[in-house]
Amino acid sequence: MILTLKLSVQDTVAPEQPVGLTPLRRLATTDAQGCHVLGDSAAAFRDGSEAQVAALVQQATDLSSMSDQLFGAAATWPQLYHLASSRANILRALHLPRSATVLEVGAGCGAITRYLGEACAMVDALEPSLDRARVARLRSADLSTVEVFVGGIAQLPTGPAYDVVVVVGVLEYLGSGTADAEPYLESLARLRSVLRDGGTMIIAIENRLGVKYLAGAPEDHSGRVYDSIEGYMRGAGKARTFSRAKLEELLAQAGFTFSVLSAFPDFKLARAIFSDDLYRTEPSLAWGIPTFPSPDWAGPERHRTVSESLLWRSLVEAGVGQHFANSFLVLARKDGTVSTRLWPDDQLAAFYHPHRGKQFATETRLFRSDSALHFQRRPLFSGEADGAADLVQTLQDSTYIPGTEMTEEMVGAGDDRLKELLREWLLIVDANKAEAGAIDALPRNIICTADGNFLQIDNEWRDRTYTRDDIVKRGVLLTGLWLAEHSPPERWQGVTAQDVIIHIGALAGMASNGAWIEDAVEREAALQVRVEPPVPRWAHRRDKLGEIREALWRRIRVPLTETPLGDRDHDRAVRAEAAIARSREQAIRILLGARIWRSTKPLRVMVRALQRRLH
């Protein structure tokens, strides 16, 4: 395996050790399996996966925040939440000082704790559940920088002791679901008091008005559709999230100076984090960087109401997108001189690939300088690469090129225009012959500039085992899927996404029977298996290749009526009501024609009443 790696200082330099102990560490506390117990944990929140997660952590030899062993072992959503390396992406986007003393509130099973312990000099992790605190202690067992405490905010000693306070997925629980601002303000004030002057509190929280909720996704905590956007009229349960305006109001009342960043698909397994400046500077990136539909991690199947992707684009283009991001990342500063900005002024965005193994995990930051936008890319893992030498990943910095993605140009285009665009794409594929196996030469990576030129913007991957024919098959497969999911069904003369893929392939000169699709699926599934984290032998998981292959075929065979621009729940309800009415009318006609009708006056009266009611 050959990789072009840029070694990060953060990956190689050990954190500076702070002088002295925090007040929390000076407390005389009871030790429970390595955790310092401050208070009773009987009522603390648990999701039921703690014992399973603890067992997986105990079996792993790699406990790091980038552990493929733990990421690959996760088989359920709760396990993924506690073990995925992408859990730390919400903080990776920030410039945390290596010398910082950090308080983490609500450590859970230690996914964020582990990253903080690797990145900062001293970490006090506070978790109200003893079961979870024990897992967090196991996860950070080899880090002298971390101590885990069992307790709540009320048990914190007073006095400024921390440079950074981290509150990820916790603020929404601090008021036990109440709409009263007082408990939230009380908790924020308490946390502000333990910050040193110039320190920063980092808050990650879902947006009550997130675009995925507007599009019909169930609320993350209650599982009810439209619950938060209707103001939790049925009761918020144990958690309540906030709109951006309400969140800013709480922070201002608590005495913070703050900035708010957008996070997609949410803060849990973040793919993209960006500032308000991105909305103003290049709105096409603000609506283009996130991927949709956003996952519904633990809720029921989403109602089919609107295309989340197109809704998000409309909100951004209307200039209000920053109020409807799915999650917020808040940097709340305490008064005083700020020596280090956790989010640099010239940084517009940071984005990641949440499902890659550490060998191929990357970070891309977008900066503004000299009236231009620049992408800076780096690997997240600096260790030695292993694997097949035929798959090559190359990371290069680049300048942003304004224009329209070729796939966007294809939406709504007639067959003549589609054929023209596909011809331009194939010319680029042929121009890449010198770079064997340039598998990123896809329509989605080609920009149509304002002057009519076509430029490839991404060439991260090469696989020498791919022929030109393989690359064309991959391009048609992925482009056909994208068009099926982003076009109205009536655009195509077909029933399923597979029909769209076959049609695009025929326009590109491929066999019109679609026999090539099976081969393309096998190659794509095999490629994704190599890029995703491997499943450890001791993990109880299904066949990974089979999972990916099955997921691809589900997308390919989906009826066009089931795609985001297909049938909506309202359309289905109207058709169902019409069908019921027709059935009733038919039943009445049958009864009217029956012989028994002549001798059953009560039945006749009933049927006439039913007729009047129907009309």
Segments forming the whole domain that contains residue 527: 398-562
Instruction: Judge whether 378 lies within some domain.
Output: no
Q: What is the distance between the alpha carbons of residues 218 and 303, in angstroms, rounded to a whole number? A: 8
Q: Quick one: pLDDT at residue 68?
A: 96
Q: Return the CA Rg of the chain.
A: 28
Instruction: Judge whether 168 lies within some domain.
Output: yes
> Amino acid identity, residue 349?
A
Instruction: Judge whether 277 lies within some domain.
Output: yes
Instruction: Judge whether 393 lies within some domain.
Output: no
Number of H helices, E strands in the chain: 22, 19
595 and 531: one domain? no
579 and 430: one domain? no
Residue range 557-584, pLDDT digits in tens: 999 999 999 998 877 778 888 888 888 8
* Residue 607 neighbours by CB distance under 10 Å: 16
Q: What is the distance between the alpha carbons of residues 110 and 301, in angstroms, rounded to a whole number? A: 29
Instruction: Judge whether 7 lies within some domain.
Output: no
Q: Quick one: pLDDT at residue 524?
A: 98
* Residue 289 vs residues 6, 327, 550: alpha-carbon distances, Å: 23, 15, 26
What is the tally of structural domains in the chain? 3
Residues 6+ apart with CB under 8 A from 449: 401, 402, 403, 455
Instruction: Judge whether 515 lies within some domain.
Output: yes
Instruction: Judge whether 19 lies within some domain.
Output: no
Domain harbouring 432, CATH code: 1.10.510
pLDDT < 50 stretches in the chain: 1-14
Q: Quick one: pLDDT at residue 4?
A: 34
Q: Quick one: pLDDT at residue 5?
A: 32
Q: Quick one: pLDDT at residue 540?
A: 81
Domain harbouring 228, CATH code: 3.40.50.150
169 and 36: one domain? yes
Residue range 314-366, pLDDT digits in tens: 999 999 999 999 999 999 999 876 556 899 999 999 999 999 999 999 999 99
Q: CA 384, 385, 387, 388 torsion: positive or negative?
A: negative
Quote the DSSP letter at residue 444.
G
600 and 548: one domain? no
Instruction: Judge whether 359 lies within some domain.
Output: no
517 and 600: one domain? no
577 and 548: one domain? no
**What global pTM score does this model have?**
0.90
DSSP strands (E only) in 153-264: 162-168, 195-206, 257-264
Q: Quick one: pLDDT at residue 604?
A: 66
321 and 268: one domain? yes
114 and 192: one domain? yes
188 and 328: one domain? yes
